[in-house]
Structure 1
């Protein structure tokens, strides 16, 4: 007859389970608890209710064209990207996943945004609303974003067919 596992075995099991939770693709550390999107600024910047206050979030690894802002002319497909993000994420609950850096130089929280099981950052690139924008050290999804951009460009999706001088 075997003796029941001791405290060391139980501790090891808890550590291994915890490590498994931290290894989700596109995220260093487990995604946060669900947050509510309170505002969509443009295609790649949202605001969420996080930790009892409003937090500005920049989507990691992607770049959408700019929208018109305070008299400045927007970029081709910027309005469409912003409307798409607003339609998909506005007033919805999402999960945030993080990479190496938590904040950018403007103080925005840097995150992968999950809508259910969908990585929304990747969807933006795949549908041609954004380009891949790898910024070290936040590179855990850079390969997937680059592949999605090649696919969108080849298929002429979104900005790749709508804009006369598409990026890249």
Structure 2
């Protein structure tokens, strides 16, 4: 059974990021943004893939990139999302401390972060982050600043199979599905009384892992690593899970009851 395809995660904004609702990617409700004038600032520190501190004429600002959502880094002992550290490190490498950037700002979120389009050498950081495969498109209460460019960059990342789009990265959805498919295909076709318990435990573990991915795909709001995927990528993941389940059934068919 196919799950609904993920749309752009929209964060309801009353001058702040609040709850998420899913809107169709093809027909988002847009408003004409009214930014502040361009402000030159310098990078002080990169917090994560979509959050950074800068220093400018008015002092220090904490910026939240517009129209993208990067994987969340772990906090308070909780694990981060897949490729969260890599997304942060990608931004840090691109914008070392002291780098001069230009920003156009669009108000604040509920955490006091300034919503901003950050540009270096004319390139939008939001767009380049998505092109590198480290962010999903995000429409914030109709605030369309670089959304179409981010969506196009996300499609490029999908074709290139980079970042969260790569099946070769073990923690991505596609990577996890590929590993499960391979493990299911490697189950023994026959078992002995001595090996039966271990084989059954492995099969049940695979069943649970497959179910966990299906639940992750079907339950919103989607994390960045899922929201970034195209419908074709999601179909490929589901096909991989279907193949894994078929292998489980075939490989264990001759096991004694």
Q: Verify same fold: TM over 0.5.
A: yes
Structure 1 spans left out of the alignment, 5+ residues: 1-25
Q: CA deviation at 1:29?
A: 4.7
| Aligned CA-pair RMSD | 1.8
CA contact (8 A) 1:38 1:49 kept: yes
Taking structure 1 as reference, are residues 27 and 125 closer, same or farther at Cα in structure 2, changes over 3 Å only?
farther
CA contact (8 A) 1:27 1:140 kept: no
Partner of residue 45, structure 2: 39
In structure 1, which of residues 86, 93, 97 is the aligned counterpart of residue 100 of structure 2?
A: 93
Partner of residue 129, structure 1: 134
TM-score (norm 2): 0.51
Choose between structure 1 and 2: higher helix proportion: 2
Partner of residue 106, structure 1: 111
Range with greater deviation from structure 2 (158-167 or 77-86)? 158-167
**1: CA distance between counterparts of 2:67 and 2:77?**
27
Q: CA deviation at 1:106?
A: 1.4
Bigger radius of gyration among the two: 2
Structure 2 spans left out of the alignment, 5+ residues: 1-32, 174-224, 228-257
TM-score (norm 1): 0.76
**1: CA distance between counterparts of 2:163 and 2:135?**
9
In structure 2, which of residues 35, 41, 60 is the aligned counterpart of residue 28 of structure 1?
A: 35
